[in-house]
Amino acid sequence: MDFRPLNDTERRQLITALRGNAEQDRAILMDRRDTSFVGTADEVTDEEVIAAIRSVPCHY
**Residues near another protein (CB under 8 A):** 4-5, 7, 9, 12-13, 16, 25, 39-40, 42-44, 46, 48-60
Say which amino acid occupies 13: Q
Work out how close the CB of 59 gets to another protein at its nearest, in angstroms, rounded to a whole number: 4
Phi, psi of 37 (to 5 degrees): -70, 125
Element (H, E) at 47: helix 46-54
Toward another protein, which CB reaches closer, 13 or 21?
A: 13
Least separation in angstroms between CB 9 and another protein: 6
For residues 46 and 4, what is the distance between their CA atoms, to the nearest angstrom?
Answer: 25
